Amino acid sequence: MMGKQHYLFRAALAATIAGAATARAQVADTVVVTSVTVVAADTQRIDPDAMAALKRMGDYLRTLNAFQVKADVTTENVGNDGQKLQMLSSVDMIAKRPDRLRVEVVNSRQPRTFYYDGKDFTLWAPRLNYYASVPAPATTRELIDKLEDKFNIEIPFVDLFKFGTPQANTDKITDATDIGPAVVNGITTEQYAFRQPGVDWQVWIQAGEFPLPLRLVITTTDDDSRPQHETQYTWNLAPSYTEKAFAFVPSPNDKKITFAEVGAPTVAMKKRGEDKK
C-alpha cells in the first residue's frame, strides 16, 4: 500500500512492504520502548507469542459481522526542509459484512466520506461539494481490491479487513516482540512491536476474550526523518444504524466528477469559479 494516494494515511501495516528483508549486521542493538529494554539479535527475532497474538487478533476481527470504530489519528508530514508537521484527523467507520461500509474522515484540510451500499461506491468531499461514484462489486473485500488496483484509492483502516488474511503478508516480518502489558484509555492491553523492511510498527491489543487493536503506531524507517502515524481506536461491537447510512444522496450543491484510473492521463483541476470567467 506504500505509494498509493491515501486520503487519510500513507503507511499501512504489512501490505506496505515488498521485497525480501535486508541482512542485518553482526551487531546487537538495544531498543528502549516504554522503559522496557529489548535486545535485538543479529538475526531475525521472531517471538512466537507475538505472532500468535497477531493471528488471534486477525481471526477475531474476521468474526465481527457488524462494528463501529472511531479513532483519533495523528499523521506526520515532512517538508522539503525536513520539518515535521502533524495532521490531526478523526475517523468514524461503520461496517456490516459482507457489503456495507461508511467511513467519515474529519480534519481541517481534506474531509472525506466514503459510502458503499453493496451496489455503488461513492467518495464525497464536503468542503468542495464534489463527489464521484462507481459501480461496486458484491463484497467489501472485493471493493478494497478494486479501489486500490484501478483507482489508487485506499479505504481508511483498510488493515482491519486484511489482518488474518494472506494479504497481511506477515511473512515479511523480521522482528516480533511482546513488550508487555499496558493501559490504553483505561483498558488493559498487551503491547507488541514488529519490524519489516522500511517500517517499524507497534500495536496494543486488548487483553481477554475481545482481542481488538486499541492503538497503532507506524514509523517509516526508509525515510531519514522517520515520520510516524498514530491511531487510537474506540470500538462499538453493537452499532446502531439504518440502510440510509451507507447510501450517498447528493445535495443540489454537489457536483459529480469521475475517478481517474491508474495509468490514465491526469488533468489539473480548475480553481473554483475559474470556469465562470
Distance from C-alpha of 118 to C-alpha of 65, rounded to nearest angstrom: 15
pLDDT band at 44 (very low <50, low <70, confident <90, very high): low
Listed residue (75, 91, 65, 53) closest to 189, CA to CA: 53
- % pLDDT > 90, the chain: 71
- Residue pair 90/78 in contact (Cβ under 8 Å)? The answer is no
Sign of CA dihedral 226, 17, 183, 28: negative
Domain membership of residue 96 (yes or no) is yes
List, for residues 155-214, the tens digit of each pLDDT value.
999 989 988 887 888 889 999 999 999 999 999 999 999 999 999 999 999 999 999 999
Domain membership of residue 197 (yes or no) is yes
DSSP H helical segments within the chain, as ranges?
Answer: 48-63, 140-146, 159-162
Domain membership of residue 34 (yes or no) is no
List, for residues 132-151, the tens digit of each pLDDT value.
999 999 999 999 999 999 99
Domain membership of residue 23 (yes or no) is no
pTM metric for this prediction: 0.78
Domain count across the chain:
1
Q: Is the pLDDT of residue 235 over 70?
A: yes
Tell me how far apart the 2 most distant CA atoms of the chain are, in Å. 66
Torsions phi, psi for 79 (to 5 deg):
-75, 175
**What would the mean pLDDT of 33-37 be, rounded to a whole number?**
38
pLDDT band at 263 (very low <50, low <70, confident <90, very high): confident
List, for residues 46-77, the tens digit of each pLDDT value.
999 999 999 999 999 999 999 999 999 999 99
Q: Taking all residues of the chain, what is their mean pLDDT, rounded to a whole number? A: 83
List, for residues 72-126, the tens digit of each pLDDT value.
999 999 988 889 999 999 999 999 999 999 999 999 999 999 999 999 999 999 9
Domain membership of residue 14 (yes or no) is no
Q: What pLDDT is attached to residue 168?
A: 80
The upper half-sphere exposure of residue 156, i.e. CA atoms within 13 Å in the direction of its Cβ, equals 31
Instruction: Kindly list the distances between the CA atom of residue 125 and the CA atoms of 70, 133, 254, 270, in Å, as whole numbers in the listed order.
Output: 19, 12, 9, 16
Q: What pLDDT is attached to residue 266?
A: 58
Domain membership of residue 174 (yes or no) is yes
Domain membership of residue 117 (yes or no) is yes
Residue 167: CATH number of its domain: 2.50.20.10
Report angle CA 211, 217, 175 to the nearest 5 degrees: 80
268 or 163, greater pLDDT: 163
Domain membership of residue 80 (yes or no) is yes
Range of the domain at 83: 49-256
